[in-house]
Structures are given as structure tokens and as C-alpha cells.
Structure 1
Amino acid sequence: MRIGLYPGTFDPITLGHIDIIRRASTLVDRLVVGVAINRDKGPLFSLEERVAMIEAETARLNLPDGTEIVVHPFENLLINCARDVNAQVIVRGLRAVADFEYEFQMVGMNRAMDASIETVFLMADTGHQAIASKLVKEIARLDGDVSTFVTRDVNEALIAKFR
């Protein structure tokens, strides 16, 4: 079984994340969406809320036959999480050159720790390249419209958080 790990904080999950999940699911038999418990980032949504949002959004996807999506919270090193879920591949989405510079360093460190786990980069769809969770939260906080960046349910969750 080919298992991929798509890690992130998903605070909140955006249309860009959903696009990467959909596309990555065509490459593996099981895609584990690793939800990072990153206390340093001070997430807007709790871990439970982020997991629930991802589960709800991925349940709506029309996946290839037999493809399974699992949501898995983690707080350890990414490479250890990959080992924990038996992933052979780490999937990362790239939006811009700045993303690549950071990801390039991360791949080097991960390969030094476990060369058996590959990293695959998927370029963001052109319609989603500007979407970043951090910016979505800022726009929503300032009462801006983020409905073109997130699903209806996530938009409603953002509105409720900032009321």
C-alpha cells in the first residue's frame, strides 16, 4: 500500500489545501493529512476544530476508488510522524519560490534523518497560489470576504470565531 503524508497546521483548511489533498490522493492508496499541533503558531482554531474541518471537507471529495484519507494529529518531528503512519512519501504544496527555499532545507534535513522517505512537491493550482491560511485569517479578522479562499463551512467558522 502506498501511503502519503500531507502535513500542515491547516488553520484553517483552505481551497488550496483541498486542491493538494485531492491531487495527492491520486498518487497514493492512503493519504494521511497530518495536523500539526504547533503551539508556537498560536492557532485560531483548536486541534479538534481543525481535525473536524478537515474530516468534513475531505469527506466531500470525489476520490479515486480505494483511496482512503485519514486525519492524524501530530506534535513530533515530521519525519517521525511519517514513520508513525508508515508513509513512504511526504507531500508538500508549493505556492511560490519562497516556499521552495524553506521546503528545500526541510527535505535535506528529513533525508539526513531517513533517506527511505521521499518528499514530493505539488505546485499550487494557479487559482490558489495566493491563498495562505495566515492571510485568510487576517482578512476575516478585519471583516473581509474570504469566501473565494475557503469553503462555505470554513467561512462560517471564521465568521463565528471573529464575532
Structure 2
Amino acid sequence: IFAAMFWVALGLLSPHPASQQNNENIQGLRKFSFGLSLLIFIMILSGGFVAGIRAGLAYNTFPLMNGHLIPPDLFILEPWYRNFFDNITTVQFDHRLIAWTLAFLVPLFWFKSRKVELPGTTRLACNLFLLMLIIQISLGIATLLHVVPIPLAASHQGGAVLLFAASLWVSHRLRSH
């Protein structure tokens, strides 16, 4: 619902995309940005599972999970799919895995965007997207290391919405005419 409302609001604020050459680089960035928005949406769902089963109260170390790159209790529940919803280890591992993936992909997107001539507002959106990712990952690590204090956890959840909004803004700015 948020994504649909925000997209409509962006359309009202900027009804027509700035004149951009519709070349392969722009098309590639457009697809990349939509993929990142989808991955961030999945990340937010994953964060909901972390909060829901209080998985943040376990494995309060970073970058390893209590000394393990891959923790031993990862898939201990039967049937296997319950691990993605009920296993604290798997739920937190999945959330971290998506975070690491975004920590790689968003800067890659940003570097690719630097090689393309973009209008000022689109460039600003790309820059703020990267900045928001850095803030959000920092909030997530701090929340984990401090064993989930409510103000920090709430800031991390709010940051997720802002990161999603930044990704939607970039996608909206790169949309086709």
C-alpha cells in the first residue's frame, strides 16, 4: 500500500520524467532499480519476521553469528520451510544475507549510475539511495550489537521505510516516458 501511494505521489509531484536518452544504459539502470526495490521489499518482510519472533535478541555479534559464518542451527525444523518463519537462526541469517546482498548491489548500482548522464534530480535520488542504505545498515548493526533497544529498533524499522522510499524514488525517476 505504501509503495502504491508513494508512487502515485511521485507521479503527482513529477508527472513527466525529465528528458533522458532512452539507451541501453538507462534501460539497464531502470531494470536494476526495480529489482533493488523488489529486494528491499523482501528485506522488509524478512525484518518483520525477525521482529515477530524476536530473532534480534539472539546472535548479537557482527559480522559473524556467535563466531559462525553459517550457524549450525540453520535448518533444524521439520518440515524445512518452517525454518524461514519459526527458526530464529534461519530468520536472522536470511535477514543478514539479504543485507549483505544489498550492501553489494546498491553501491554497484550507484557506480553504474555514475557512468550515465542523468538529470540532477535523478542523480540526487541515486546518491540519497546509497546514503540511506549506509544509514540503514548502520542502524541494523547497532540495533543488533546493543541487543535491540526499542528506540534503535524503531529507528531501524523507520529506516527501512525510508530506504524503500529512496529505491522507489530512483525507480520512478528512471521510468520510461
Normalising by structure 1, report the TM-score: 0.25
Query: Relative contact order (C-alpha < 8 Å, sep 6+): which is higher?
Result: 2
- TM-score scaled to structure 2, two decimals? 0.23
User: Which structure: larger Rg?
Assistant: 2
Q: Which structure shows the higher strand fraction?
A: 1
More helix by share: 2
